[in-house]
Amino acid sequence: MNHFPSSLSQATEYRDAIFAGGCTDLMPLFKNQVRDHRNLVFLTQIPELREIRREGPGVSIGASAILADVAESELILNHFPALAQAANAVASPQIRNIATMGGNIMQDRRCIYFNQSAGWRSSLPPCFKTGGDVCHQIPNSPVCRALYYSDVATALLVYDAQAEYWEKGALHCAPLRELIHRHCEANGTACRNRLNILVTRFFMDSPPKGERSGFYKYAMRTSIDFPLINFALRCGRSRSAKLVSGAAAPEPLILEHTAALLDHGAADDDILAACQAELKTLAMPIREACISPARKRDLYLQVFSLLSLREDCPKSTEL
């Protein structure tokens, strides 16, 4: 970024810096003493990081843009409807008014054994995320199995978004999928191993005119809740279909086989069966506050709505 304060990019050279967006994800972690609240670097007052604008062949969204602005932006509603729907589906209006795009993507993975007070956690040995070497969800797992619940990530991935970020004092631009993979992997270990990355912007190329895309989220409560499972789909004639599912594993799942069947105009029953089979193979359900792994597997049957998504979701207009 041309006017990006150099002191901020230098902050990525310090391992202990914590970049803060709206703090809606950080605050409960501070209260539960799983994250240290020192060395906070607040980002929300930097105007360049809040911009949503046309750029090159697409759109750029600053990492500190708040979700309410993304959900209401004409640019996003007209060209990236799945993203507007996802931003509008996060938590509650109060949270969407302060929560940022960067914070949503870089949010911590969650698990009923980790998102607890220090007193509650003291009755069990530390898990991977708190400096130990066990996953209480799946005790024989060699890695943490906490889930990644970002609604926005699912939608950004369906548009093949790129992320711009500072790391160790250097500016990078890479597919968002790679950044999320690195973040989710590092996020399954104790805080000291977290990536020290400052995300500045997300880029998406304009979708072909007439392409349909949309986002669906299943949650216990529609007023405020993390997803039990979410989906984003894009499909059209100019490029291959893409289908992404979130909250089903430690990182979002790209359902390539199902997308290929959508492209080939397969029969609805075959698409449904393929989607359920692909989810059963790739998903890694764990015990959650309000759903068991077995019940969550039943949710995969809900993919029937993907069929209506094909016809019902909005078409993109020309940028």
Ligand X SMILES: Cc1cc2nc3c(=O)[nH]c(=O)nc-3n(C[C@H](O)[C@H](O)[C@H](O)COP(=O)(O)OP(=O)(O)OC[C@H]3O[C@@H](n4cnc5c(N)ncnc54)[C@H](O)[C@@H]3O)c2cc1C
Query: Whole-number minimum distance, CB 63 to ligand X, in Å?
Result: 4
Identify residues 288-307 at the interface with ligand X (CB under 6 A).
none
Are the beta carbons of 272 and 253 closer than 8 angstroms? no
Selected binder of ligand X within 8, 19, 146, 252 (CB under 6 A)? 19
Number of residues that bind ligand X (CB under 6 A): 33
Any bridge partners for residue 230, and if so which? 217, 246
HEC profile of the chain? CCCCCHHHHHHCCCCCCEEECCCCCHHHHHHCCCCCCCCEEECCCCHHHHCEEEECCEEEEECCCEHHHHHHCHHHHHHCHHHHHHHHHCCCHHHHCCCEHHHHHCCCCECCCCCCCHHHHCCCCCCHHHCCCCCCCCCCCCCCCCECCCHHHHHHHHCCCEEEEEECCEEEEEEHHHHHHHHHHHCCCCHHHCCCEEEEEEEEECCCCCCEEEEEEECCCCCCCCCCEEEEEEECCCCCCEEEEECCCCCCEECHHHHHHHHCCCCHHHHHHHHHHHHHHHCCCCCECCECHHHHHHHHHHHHHHHHHHHHCCECCCC
Query: Whole-number minimum distance, CB 171 to ligand X, in Å?
Result: 13
Q: Which is it for strands 58-62 and 52-55: parallel, antiparallel or unpaired?
A: antiparallel
Query: Whole-number minimum distance, CB 138 to ligand X, in Å?
Result: 23
Identify residues 223-252 at the interface with ligand X (CB under 6 A).
224-227
Residue 18 as a binder of ligand X (CB under 6 A): the answer is yes
Tell me the C-alpha distance between 197 and 7, whole Å: 14
* C-beta closer to ligand X: residue 70 or 261: 70
Selected binder of ligand X within 71, 76, 82, 91 (CB under 6 A)? 91
Selected binder of ligand X within 103, 188, 214, 285 (CB under 6 A)? 103
Selected binder of ligand X within 102, 214, 250, 285 (CB under 6 A)? 102
Interface mask (CB under 6 A) for ligand X, residues 44-83, using x and -? -------------------x---x----------------
Residue 21 as a binder of ligand X (CB under 6 A): the answer is yes
* C-beta closer to ligand X: residue 204 or 272: 204
The region of 77-85, 196-204, 297-305, 307-315 touching ligand X under the rule CB under 6 A is 196-204
Selected binder of ligand X within 52, 68, 99, 271 (CB under 6 A)? 99
The region of 72-80, 100-108, 155-163, 294-302 touching ligand X under the rule CB under 6 A is 100-108
The region of 71-79, 102-110, 278-286, 291-299 touching ligand X under the rule CB under 6 A is 102-110
Q: Which is it for strands 58-62 and 197-205: parallel, antiparallel or unpaired?
A: antiparallel
Residue nearest ligand X (C-beta atom): 103
Residue 23 as a binder of ligand X (CB under 6 A): the answer is yes
Q: Which is it for strands 229-235 and 52-55: parallel, antiparallel or unpaired?
A: unpaired
Query: Whole-number minimum distance, CB 17 to ligand X, in Å?
Result: 9
Identify residues 143-162 at the interface with ligand X (CB under 6 A).
149-151
Contact set with ligand X (CB under 6 A): 18-26, 28, 43, 63, 67, 90-91, 95, 99-100, 102-104, 106-107, 149-151, 197-199, 224-227
